[in-house]
Structure 1
Amino acid sequence: MKFVFIAKHRTIWPVAWLCDALGVSRSGFHAWLTRAPSARSRSDAIVGGRVRASFLASDRTYGVRRVWRDLLAEGIDCGLHRIERLMRSQALRARPRRRRLPKDDGDRPATIAPSNLLDRQFEAVRPNQKWIADFTYIWTAEGWLYVAAVIDLFSRRVVGWSMSASMTAQLVADALLMAVWRRGKPNALLHHSDQGSQYRSEPFQRLIVNRRGIRTPFSG
């Protein structure tokens, strides 16, 4: 292992320094460096290549046991601990599988939604005339992250946004509040979104009522 460390870092520090620091001889290191690979090393290189191929074919989701079963199915006789060692030496770590896509189970009010005033007219002649809002979700190592945004159709820029670990009305309300804070009090503004439960929720609609000058048509 000392010789491996020296070989890996000899482009950074002189070999003589590394050998002295690790207590090995320079002649021993150079003899090791020019020695033909052992049968086990050659076998590890072959099996390691198949391990990597199986891991990448799984879209980096296979752990040690699944890779091991893959190789056994190919007729490669090897132990589980060997697969673990070869994966560790190549820094192959399975990433967690995504959970099922989040589902919007929020209640939608029984009231009739306002008509679709936008009517697919995605052009605006001035700033703060038409805003469109929506949110999406992104898988992270800690779970789903929900991101809401408000876009001004005149500049095509995001004017408000928010992030949260939960899909709530507060998520979309915070994005709208940021947009209003950045752009000032709206006047005859059309705020368009879909009919998601977050946008039709009582807290969000109450926010719209309190912010006079905003209309909220929905798309189907």
Structure 2
Amino acid sequence: MSQKYDKEFKIQTVKMIQEQGKPVAQVARELGVSDNTLYRWINEFKQDPVNAFRGSGNLKIEEKTLLEMQKRIRQLEMENEILKKGDAHLRKRPELIFAFIHKHRSKYPVSEMCKVLNVSRSGYYQWTRCQESEQKKRRRELEQQISRIFVDSRRLYGSPKIAQVLRQQGVRVSEKTVARIMKELGLKSRTVKKYKATTNSNHNLPVHDNVLNQQFRAQAPNQVWMADITYVPTDEGWLYVASVMDLYTRKIVGWHADERMTKELVLQALDQAYNRQRPKGEVLHHSDRGSQYASHEYQKRLLKYGMKCSMSRKGNCYDNACIESFHSVLKKELVYLEKFRTRKEAQSRIFEYIEFFYNRKRVHSAIGYLTPFQYEQMYGQIA
């Protein structure tokens, strides 16, 4: 399923690269776009920050050809680099060539080095079996895989999620084995206590029935959306974050942050969700009874978008458990682990967490230990 990037997403991505100094290649890899696409975003924003990104943000089909060319160029550059580094080994015994391949296996594919250096892959693998026992090799590789997944998760995953990710990668391993290795390596999840949010529903605005009624299951994307507000502390004061989650994919389809908790805050999040997803059928929109969601302006917007409103029962936190769970995760995995000097800094880090990590990289137990984007794409392939 091709992805569509709106103006706000592009601006926030460019700002994050500029302010945090993240490598363009890394950001491109995380988003699943080419380096040239990000450089084009950066240059367009530099030339005219006000009028940049007027289009819808669709990735161009022509980029496929460019990506293929870039891939071939990188392959040729890699082969040339292997020959330069391995030149001294070409006239020596095969054992020395195999040692060279083994030393550089993390940088270059073994098959490519064997082809360039004119040795067989079978010969190389037979040589490695002579160097160490299979049990020790398996153990070292497993330690490396666990460490890589742990670091890639921002040091947030515990043994259950790491074991699931390994299984998805074809590695047969038990959760107990993963837990034991993590303990030996000193890998401990850095998440902290859960966050409990409260909502002020003391107002005279009309409220709606609890249509959702804790039926936290949907049959497809854009059937049920759940909305809520949370609070993030900074040295400048509170930053309020309104989020909209798709119940089927658990993807955050829209969100907005501001220094005031007003109806405009939740309207911005709803507008972003609608513009990004463009739901074709009726969406059941569930929230708490907060005055922002009960406001006349918000209810009019729901009618405009063809959405049916559902609200939690008064004082019942379980009625909106899924979106509150997301805000709890946001607190444990980001907010409580960092100290934000400004609201702008907090907003930038939240953008990175939601758009780059939570939606695209963080596996979710409720959707089979896939990421929200993977789960959404799977539905698109089946439908």
TM-score by length of structure 2 reads 0.29
TM-score normalised to the size of structure 1? 0.50
Greater helix content: 2
Greater radius of gyration (CA): 1
* Structure showing the higher strand proportion among its residues: 1
